[in-house]
Structure 1
């Protein structure tokens, strides 16, 4: 039996197929770099070279940490512990790692702040000066001095503010970096690592702006909200409050990669069985952030969960 289609039906079918094709392309692009595993690199020599980490294919985003000195009239300073010293071009070797990671499809961020260091923003002028410094020395600007990592533009800036008094000027810093990207046609990804207790003392006001692409919530070192198998409700309440209060594109579950990395460690089996099924129900779920790469190298945590996040 031969089936014949009218020209109007064929035309309608073609329109539907074209629409579906456009829709799938749009939705595929809308997710950006969300999904997968993010981590931190730069605080321990045992984590190895940046190039090697990205070559594993396990990570979507790597935060280089930390730019841990700024404010109070200080020259911004990167601290990569035993990896290298930015003084006298000592960290230019990191440039090759950044480029290799980006060629492997991994986004590389500069993380500012961190658990240690001497940093603060006490005025709008300091925030704008820091934004200018970061743009010119780590992103797509052109510094009049020597760039700490050489000319290998990073993909964006991660805000991991854990010290000092509350400052409203991190919002101004984020806005300035975002505007730089728009002005020069260069996407500047903005990410943040707030503590899991909502609201975060340092970053919640900045996150309300909607400027941030990815937020990895630190579900560790805080028993008020980190995962507890005896009472998972505290974790679940915190997750839901974050994703329904902050207009970020994607949210990641931040966990220690080993028991040494922080209180709140959960085994890969527990993460896969109990944590991920819950958070994956959220449309804004993006993946898992492991802290940090040096601990992951010891436990091989990322390999245990790769393909399951």
Structure 2
């Protein structure tokens, strides 16, 4: 435990020196991603979609993709964005359909200062450009998106709806076939990699679970370096609601996507994140309560590519009391950092227990509507997932085993009550060795934001490092005595 805390402490120290660091952790299995921008619940009062910064107050959320950017080359040669009720009052740049939303820009900056990764999701149900006519147009489109939403470029005439604020990257969520998206994505990747600022940028995608995803396959099947994907395991036969610990009946195909990560993806260290509906009305099929999702998460942790959970969307998650907190507990949070299993140990699922768990029998919380077309909307009344389901007849990779379903036993849902973590004034030592606590861990035990408050903490760190190094030199002598 001490070694893990030391790594976290160094991350905090780096944040203090170089500014806030985005929280999408490509070495972690605990990322929690929550889409924002489409007011999916379409609720009233406190159930209505709140400003972006409201959700960034939640310490359990790491990444927020903003949905959606619906056009790259819209009217007037500018992109087009829509964030439902939140962008309704934004002005529009003259001669375009691009909304000017400086208040959202301020919220993005606020979220980034709190360590959140904020992405712009390109696509959605109303995206209808179909991609680009040729490779040159795709590269020009990437340049336009970068100058509009990335770091402000000297001499650029691009309109900037979020002012000087730069997003942390782009998410691809295409729901229909698109052309020349690989050169578009590669051009964005090059612009990100060539940027001289200290900000780190990401490319992600949100394919549906049937493999290969028909809309995003041009991007995913080798040519583009993608940092992470959050697979939509809902609205399809391969959703989390069809998970079964009896592998002969399991239709949940995380193993197939893990195989993609290892054998097809250009980035062999890409993270595969489990996308789920955050409540019963967030998707047509696929929602399961957090008590059952816990079993899916534990199974998925057995695969090396597993990187966390994605939810559609913020309004649904906040309307489902305790869902975010329960999922955070299943993933392992700051108060549960040593509880999760090592995802890198086995690269294949462990043997099935004698009593299997079949989530496909869930009727109280998941619709029995067959897998048919369901469109999401980038309007304020959207209540579906960010992508419509689709049926594919293409062959699956060899990693998947298909067999006839077997009769299984419905599990009894376990309690999902989660106690809020109790902050402590000082860190706890886990052995009786004299004064062997890491000085950086002592900082971690206090309010992390207090580290940024002044030079006094930095001086304490410097002194603590000297003390820690001295101790490290003494320890081998004690062990040899």
TM-score for both structures, normalised by structure 1 = 0.82
Query: 2: distance between equivalents of 1:30 and 1:210?
Result: 20
Corresponding residue for residue 202 of structure 1? 215
Corresponding residue for residue 64 of structure 2? 62
Residue pairs, 1:180-191, within 5 angstroms: 180-186=191-197, 187-191=200-204
Corresponding residue for residue 9 of structure 1? none
Matched, 1:80 2:83: yes
Q: Structure 2 vs 1, CA of residues 111 and 234 (structure 1 numbering), >3 Å: closer, same or farther?
A: same
* Further displaced range: 281-290 or 297-306: 297-306
Identify the match of residue 119 of structure 1 among 118, 125, 129.
129
Query: 1: distance between equivalents of 2:140 and 2:250?
Result: 43
Residue pairs, 1:108-147, within 5 angstroms: 108-121=118-131, 122-142=133-153, 143-147=156-160
Query: 2: distance between equivalents of 1:161 and 1:228?
Result: 24
Corresponding residue for residue 288 of structure 2? 266
Matched, 1:103 2:123: no
Contact residue 78 and residue 159 of structure 2 kept, 8 A: no
**SS of structure 2 residue aligned to 1:264:** coil
1:205 positional shift: 2.9
1:189-219 Cα offsets, whole Å, 9 max, x none, are 1000011111111222312235110100011
Contact residue 65 and residue 119 of structure 2 kept, 8 A: yes
Q: Structure 2 vs 1, CA of residues 243 and 181 (structure 1 numbering), >3 Å: closer, same or farther?
A: closer
- TM-align CA RMSD: 2.7
Contact residue 243 and residue 284 of structure 1 kept, 8 A: yes
Query: 1: distance between equivalents of 2:92 and 2:81?
Result: 9
1:268 positional shift: 0.5
Corresponding residue for residue 228 of structure 1? 242
**SS of structure 1 residue aligned to 2:84:** coil
**SS of structure 2 residue aligned to 1:289:** strand
Q: Structure 2 vs 1, CA of residues 86 and 226 (structure 1 numbering), >3 Å: closer, same or farther?
A: farther
Q: Structure 2 vs 1, CA of residues 34 and 109 (structure 1 numbering), >3 Å: closer, same or farther?
A: farther
TM-score for both structures, normalised by structure 2 = 0.54
Contact residue 253 and residue 288 of structure 1 kept, 8 A: yes
Corresponding residue for residue 43 of structure 1? 38
1:130 positional shift: 1.6
1:144-199 Cα offsets, whole Å, 9 max, x none, are 14301111100100011112x342x1111111011112222354210000111111
Structure with more helix by fraction: 1
Query: 2: distance between equivalents of 1:177 and 1:104?
Result: 25
Could you list the runs of 5+ residues in structure 1 that have no partner in the other structure? 1-20
Corresponding residue for residue 171 of structure 1? 182
Matched, 1:214 2:264: no
Structure with more strand by fraction: 1
* Further displaced range: 154-163 or 83-92: 83-92
Contact residue 196 and residue 238 of structure 1 kept, 8 A: no
Query: 1: distance between equivalents of 2:208 and 2:78?
Result: 27
Corresponding residue for residue 170 of structure 2? 157
1:295 positional shift: 0.8
Greater radius of gyration (CA) = 2
Post-superposition, which runs of at least 4 consecutive aligned residues in structure 1 deviate over 3 A?
A: 29-34, 70-75, 224-227, 229-232, 236-245
**SS of structure 2 residue aligned to 1:265:** coil
1:224-248 Cα offsets, whole Å, 9 max, x none, are 4553156762113544444444335
